[in-house]
Copies of this chain bind each other. A is one copy, B any other.
């Protein structure tokens, strides 16, 4: 639980966002997007994932992306890995942090990587050993924490068991991910409180999707529980594999704008972030769900209509 008046964002557009793009995103667009995020002062960027290229063809250029990006000194670069092979490939690219990912629900984990949740977590013992031996920070992500599109609501005990496994692996923090946008503010607070009760010093990162419009409400709810680390995607890029047309991750710049309006520091240059978002939208060639890029900042005022001045 923190009372700090500062929040930290991780942008996952280059991974969670691009991953679901119907057209192949060029390595150049990926590198430009990641560099623009770094230039805007985003404190952490999830740059890619080291998954099997057959499983996620969009991430086949993971090594190339890591080689070509500019590493901004104020930014940490993390990559997602699902298994030991991924961790080996990732470490060769010298990220600042490695994020392992497992689904809290068995059915979602099996649908993704054909293993039960705790089979994957057991395999992470070797991953943790490898990552720690390399002196790299380890973070544990938990998909479907707030609900699974196959199983529905996840029992709280199950969530706590997964956290317990991650704590035993000596992760630096866990990412509670609402993979298909099923969280609501009351549930978010309940889950966070239960985890904070048992592990008061564990750093919690909240990863919300705006699939059903509750994204920023959930961010605010988590903030009220003292959470200060959030994940979002530039422009709100991303989607939901179960609902064509639905939006995906919360939009980083909309969340940053909300915190700025609330007087909470983010360390991010919002103007540059908005520019990065518009550039990415142009490169991808389709409209993104971000709202502030369309409406402007709250305090971008407008001239009075003719004849009404003074």
Contacts and interface: CB of A to CB of B under 8 A. Distances in A.
A148 B212 CA distance: 28
Is chain A's binding surface mostly helix, strand, loop or mixed? Answer: loop
Contacts of A301: 149-152
A295 interface: yes
A110 B308 contact: yes
Contacts of A214: 216, 254, 258, 261
A147 B213 CA distance: 23
A55 interface: no
7 contacts: A185-B262, A213-B255, A213-B258, A213-B290, A217-B220, A242-B296, A243-B294
A286 interface: no
B246 A294 contact: yes
B107 A308 contact: yes
Interface of A: 107, 110-111, 147, 149-153, 181-182, 184-187, 210-217, 219-221, 240, 242-243, 245-247, 251, 254-255, 257-258, 261-263, 290-292, 294-299, 301-305, 308
A295 B178 CA distance: 14
Given A220-B220, A294-B245, A308-B111, A212 B257 contact: yes
